[in-house]
Chain A
């Protein structure tokens, strides 16, 4: 078993706003092993980006408050660290790739300089010439053609996909152990998205980097993830290996997400399954299960008491009262069951 590099324990993050205290992250627990990819899936406002920014201590305080919990990176809690201590970890040990490659790059600085800057900052003994050589190697490594010429160009001279490659090159410059990618391909076209994902996987394989991949695209999750955490209203509601989440989902919200994506074989005459309503307001998180109001299988207890994480397998957990031994047995919605069967065919037994 690979070594655990990151452990997040009961993380709670609030934001002070004029409308009141927003409980953006409400007790999140997960861990990450070396060389592993964890995908965090959720919709806007689910707390997935706040969680990932928190790992880098990028939550501005105020208005943000680390209300509770620990972020143990290689066993050391990051929350009490000072800004100075954190700046040593950022880039060096943990690096981040953002959604929009244009805003992540400095438009007035040549890309080469933006990469060498990182190399020089993190390796005090490196000369400028060495840093330049390394930067060109990195550009080459992330698949940018003519890296020597590209080194002295500005970001606007690059296409969207090429810019995201530059951002990845910068993130890799200091050889981080953990890479956090927050919707890194959402702004890109599908063919470019596929190339960027292939690139990230290749790099992971070569360097044994751990990756946290934040996305709302379940197709991308199925491609990149070893394990998946599904977030809803600031909490992880289902957590398991990629096969467990896609082939044996237990939480009605996960069912809803899987059902609302059209399948290439969907019959055009049937309507898509939808999750009715919209996510709750986190200034006043609802009592009980936050998903209850949108859950067609909600029971009385869902409106009264928050469900615990029920264990489904040694690696699979779901936060829904439906898993309580006394709960009525609820079948997986037909549309989702049909699709899983369609994907797996005869092998269903093997996965479920």
Chain B
């Protein structure tokens, strides 16, 4: 396996008495896509936002390219970090400033980082970025409302790419889009990953799309990662009953399967003091007590 680009160690994010993220640890390897799935309120978006420093964390460590990113940082170090890590947001309607043109939105980072000051060069770079995400150079002068949802998400992607990052956090990037447009955006993300050697943290609740785009998947529930493994491990050999329950609820576009679907309900089990993360198989982790693991394993 390639080198670790991100290490999350015992990350905690508490809002008052609510433990949105309750001590999670995982690594992300260079060039891979790690899918982070779970239902609303499980802490998956909070995790993404903590990693990119939108929140100050309550506890734990986040190490990106060998550096603790929540430690004391000089302005220069922070600027470098901000260039390296970018985010794509869920709602392409809310995440673009309606008073700015697509070109201005994409170029905002250039001003902050003092890049491409030459007007001609800047126009050229914006044009290249627009083309890279499947739009036209002529689109640079248009405002957000002149674009469809899928096109807006492409602008959001172009903005994320503008500073040539190595790591992108995509927080539900397709859930606000129509089915036929979702596939276009997912294909684009895959293609850009290949061309630009990007690493993705892909946050989503749509498990079939996550399976398709991810190399490895972490399943979150109530602020904990309950299971983490390769996409194949999670889909074909799930161990944690919550993962099994989640998988059994995904409807498939196949009437024959649906006619015989049996949903596995999930009964919450307290884990308590004895709970820890076990490596049940190389690279496949499950959270629980010794006794629970024994019961859950087939």
> Which residues does A use to contact B, with CB under 8 Å?
43-44, 160, 189-195, 197-198, 216-223, 225, 242-243, 246-247, 256-264, 266, 268, 271-276, 278, 343-344, 347
B246 touches A191 (CB 8 A): yes
Best-surrounded residue of B181, B190, B212, B255 (most CB of chain A within 10 A): B255
Alpha-carbon separation in the docked complex, A273 to B209 (Å): 13
User: Which chain A positions have C-beta within 8 A of B184?
Assistant: 274-276
Q: Is B245 on the interface with A (CB-CB < 8 A)?
A: yes
Which of A190, A263, A276 contacts B246, CB < 8 Å? Answer: A190
**Interface code B127-161, partner A: CB below 8 Å = 1, 0 otherwise?**
00000000000000000000011110000000000
Q: Are A189 and B205 closer than 8 Å at their CB atoms?
A: yes
One digit per residue, 1 when the CB lies within 8 angstroms of any chain A CB and 0 when it does not, for chain B 242-275 equals 0001101111111111100101001000000000
Q: Assuming the A-B contacts A194-B263, A223-B261, A257-B180, are A264 and B252 also in contact, with contact meaning beta carbons closer than 8 angstroms in the complex?
A: yes
Given A223-B258, A223-B261, A271-B190, also A217-B209 (CB < 8 A): no
Task: Tell me which residues from 161 to 219 in chain B have a Cβ below 8 Å from any Cβ of chain A.
Answer: 178-184, 186-187, 190-191, 205, 207-209, 211-213, 215
Whether the Cβ atoms of A272 and B186 lie closer than 8 Å is: yes
- How far is A347 from B263 in the complex, measured between Cα atoms in Å? 24
Smallest Cβ-Cβ distance to A43: which chain B residue: B178
The residue on B at minimum CB distance from A45 is B178
Please report whether the interface of chain B is mostly helix, strand, loop or mixed according to DSSP: helix
Q: Indicate if the CB atoms of A262 and B251 lie closer than 8 Å.
A: no
Whether the Cβ atoms of B179 and A260 lie closer than 8 Å is yes
B179:A191 contact, CB within 8 angstroms? no
Is B39 touching A191 in the complex (CB atoms < 8 A)? yes
Q: Is the CB of A193 within 8 A of B249?
A: yes
Closest 9 CB pairs of A and B: A219-B251, A262-B212, A260-B183, A189-B39, A43-B178, A275-B180, A272-B183, A218-B253, A223-B258
Q: Chain B residue with minimal CB distance to A189?
A: B39
Q: Is B235 an interface residue (CB 8 A)?
A: yes
CB of B206 to closest CB in A, whole Å: 8
Of B148, B151, B205, B212, the contact of A272 (CB 8 Å cutoff): B212
Which of A217, A218, A268 has the largest count of B CB atoms less than 10 A from its CB? A268
Is there an interface contact between A343 and B235, defined as CB atoms closer than 8 Å? no
- A343→B208 contact, CB < 8 A: no
Contact status A222-B212, CB under 8 Å: no
Q: Tell me if A191 and B266 are in contact (CB < 8 A).
A: yes
Q: How far is the CB of A233 from chain B (nearest CB, A)?
A: 13
Asked whether B251 lies within 8 Å of A220 as measured between CB atoms, the reply is yes
Q: Which residues of B come within 8 Å of A, CB atoms?
A: 39-40, 148-151, 178-184, 186-187, 190-191, 205, 207-209, 211-213, 215, 231, 235, 245-246, 248-258, 261, 263, 266
Nearest B residue to A244 via CB reads B255
Q: Which of B190, B208, B231, B258 contacts A261 (CB 8 A)?
A: B208
- With A189-B205, A190-B250, A219-B250: A278-B212 Cβ-Cβ less than 8 Å: no
What's the Cα separation between A43 and B266 when bound, in Å? Answer: 32
B159 CB to nearest chain A CB (Å): 20
Can you report 20 A-B residue pairs in the complex whose CB atoms are below 8 A from each other? A160-B40, A190-B251, A191-B245, A193-B249, A194-B251, A195-B263, A216-B179, A217-B179, A219-B258, A220-B251, A222-B258, A223-B251, A243-B255, A246-B253, A257-B180, A262-B186, A264-B250, A272-B187, A274-B184, A274-B187
Q: List, in ascending order, chain B residues with CB within 8 A of A222's CB.
A: 251-255, 257-258
Choose from A191, A223, A274 the contact partner of B183 (Cβ within 8 Å). Answer: A274
B92 CB to nearest chain A CB (Å) = 13
Interchain CB contact (< 8 A) of B249 among A43, A194, A344: A194
Residues of A within 8 A of B39 (CB): 189-192
Q: A189-B205, A190-B207, A272-B186 are in contact. Are A216 and B178 (CB under 8 A)?
A: yes
Using known A-B contacts A190-B205, A264-B235, determine if residue A257 contacts B179 with beta carbons closer than 8 Å: yes
Q: Give chain B residues whose Cβ lies under 8 Å from the Cβ of A44.
A: 149, 178
> Which chain B positions have C-beta within 8 A of A272?
183, 186-187, 212
Contact yes or no, A246 B254, CB < 8 A: yes
- A258 closest partner in B (C-beta): B253
A275 vs B148: C-alpha distance when bound (angstroms): 15
Beta-carbon contact of B261 and A43 below 8 Å: no
Note all chain A residues with C-beta closer than 8 A to B249.
Answer: 190-191, 193-194
Please judge, given known A-B contacts A190-B205, A191-B266, A198-B263, whether A242 and B255 are in contact too, CB under 8 Å.
Answer: yes
- Does the CB pair A256–B180 fall under 8 Å? yes
CB distance from B266 to the nearest CB of A (A): 7
Q: In the complex the two chains form, what is the Cα distance from A225 to B252 in whole Å?
A: 13
Max chain B Cβ within 10 angstroms of own Cβ: one of A190, A260, A263: A190
Asked if A278 and B209 sit within 8 Å, CB to CB, the answer is: no
Given contacts A189-B40, A191-B245, contact A274 B180 (CB under 8 A): yes
Q: Name the residue of chain B whose CB is nearest to the CB of A260.
A: B183
CA distance A191 to B207 in the complex (A): 11
Residues A262 and B209 in contact in the complex (CB < 8 Å), given A221-B253, A222-B252, A243-B255: yes
Determine the chain A residues whose CB is within 8 A of the CB of B254 once the complex forms: 222, 246, 343
With A219-B252, A246-B255 as known contacts, state yes or no: A262 contacts B180, CB within 8 Å: no
Give the distance in Å from the alpha carbon of A246 to the alpha carbon of B253 in the complex.
7
Asked whether A343 and B257 contact (CB < 8 A) given A190-B246, A217-B251, A223-B251, the answer is yes
